Structures are given as C-alpha cells and as structure tokens.
Amino acid sequence: MMPISPQAGLCAICQHVRVIESAKGSTFFMCNRSKTDARFPKYPPMPVLRCGGFEKRS
Ligand code: SF4
C-alpha cells in the first residue's frame, strides 16, 4: 500500500476512506460515506480536521 499523505488530515486514518492514485501520480481521498450519506462530499477538501463521520481505522 502506498504511503498516505498527512495533508489529508483525518481521512488518512479513517476507515471510510478510499485512496485513489491517478495515472499522473496524484493521490485522491474518496469518502465512502458519501455513497450513503449526502452530508459527506465524495472528495472532501483537504485537510479534513473535523468530521462527524470519522472512525479511526483499526
Ligand atoms: S468519514 Fe470523514 S474522515 Fe472519514 S473519509 Fe469521510 S470525510 Fe474523511
């Protein structure tokens, strides 16, 4: 697994994130909660410092 950018904030350690790497080498953090809850953007602006949906990855 690729190293996760600390610039992502909470998303970097959240169990609901999906990390996507583009062909050009950019990294995107997609919030899986966005699929079932409209309060969460698909690609949240980084860094996410507070989030009601955050759950730490175990
Ligand atoms: S629930 Fe919040 S912290 Fe977790 S991936 Fe989505 S936006 Fe990031």
pLDDT in tens, the chain (58 residues): 555 667 889 999 999 999 999 999 988 999 999 999 999 999 999 999 999 999 999 9
Amino acid at 45: P
* Domain range enclosing 22: 1-58
Give the pLDDT confidence score for residue 3 in this predicted structure. Answer: 59
For 1, 2, 8, 21, 55, the CA distances from 50, given in Å and listed in that order, are 25, 24, 11, 24, 11
Query: Looking at the chain, how many residues does it have?
Result: 58
Give the pLDDT confidence score for residue 56 in this predicted structure. Answer: 96
Mutate to test the pocket of ligand 1, among 19, 29, 31 (most ligand atoms within 8 A of CB): 31
Domain count, the chain: 1
Q: Is 8 in the pocket of ligand 1 (CB under 6 A)?
A: no
3-state helix, strand, coil in the chain (%, to 5): 20, 25, 55
Separation CA 2–CA 21 (nearest Å): 9
